[in-house]
Amino acid sequence: MTPIPALVKICGLSTPETLDAALGAGADMVGFVSYPRSPRHVDPAAAAALGARVAGRAMKVALVVDAEDETLAALVAALDPDLIQLHGRETPERVAAIRARFGRPVMKAVGVAGEADIAAARSYLGAADRLLFDAKPPADPSALPGGNGLAFDWRLIAGLDLPVPVMLSGGLDPENVAQAIRLTGVRGVDVSSGVESAPGVKDPRGITAFIAAARAAFAAENQDAAP
């Protein structure tokens, strides 16, 4: 069986300098947030300028939250993303509709607080191309749907066997990403606030350290799995 590629995603990039840091360190995916409430928000024009710097060196991910088709159309036209990440309350039907309308693979983020959330994620199988397990946001209505620096109990997805690729997010940083990979066995990790010096302000050194730590952990897992 061909092993699933190990992927590292840096999300919420908003400046050329931090994007270049992620690309230079070897990020597999770079995420751009289109959500005005987020400190990481970039409008379509800014997304287009940043996306042009990627030049095929990584997958471009457009992150939206319960976006209308008009908003999605403008972002897709500007960024030409390789993947659309849905980080809101999108139903399986809405996920499937976005995937069909825009002709791009879709990753659905699922907020996790307990086992019931893992079970609920299965409803997206057949609609989403990938699943991202993130910490469920606080009940506070002002809380963002992601990027809160919170972690869930990673044991909930340890050894989880699903027919689509899975990524882990929520509370990851350069110091704990190796532990998260060892504990869960995931082949994809996603970080945003864990490599920031302030909300929305990415730290190039943190980005480089995170990618290096994740790569080392994935390499160790591959060695452990070798016959």
Question: Out of 43, 80, 117, 134, which one is annotated catalytic?
Answer: 134
Determine whether 161 is an active site residue. no
Q: Could you give the residue ranges of the DSSP H alpha helices within 25-170?
A: 44-54, 69-79, 92-102, 115-121
Beta-strand ranges (E) seen in the chain are 7-10, 29-34, 59-64, 83-86, 106-112, 130-135, 166-168, 188-191, 196-198, 201-202
Burial class (CB in 10 A: 0-12, 13-18, 19+), 72: buried
Question: Out of 11, 28, 173, 190, which one is annotated catalytic?
Answer: 11
The pair of three-digit structure tokens given for residue 98, joined into one six-digit string: 């976005």
Write out the H or E segment, with its range, that includes residue 15: none
CA angle 132-143-45, nearest 5°? 70
Amino acid at 32: F
Determine whether 20 is an active site residue. no
Q: Could you list the active site residues? A: 11, 134
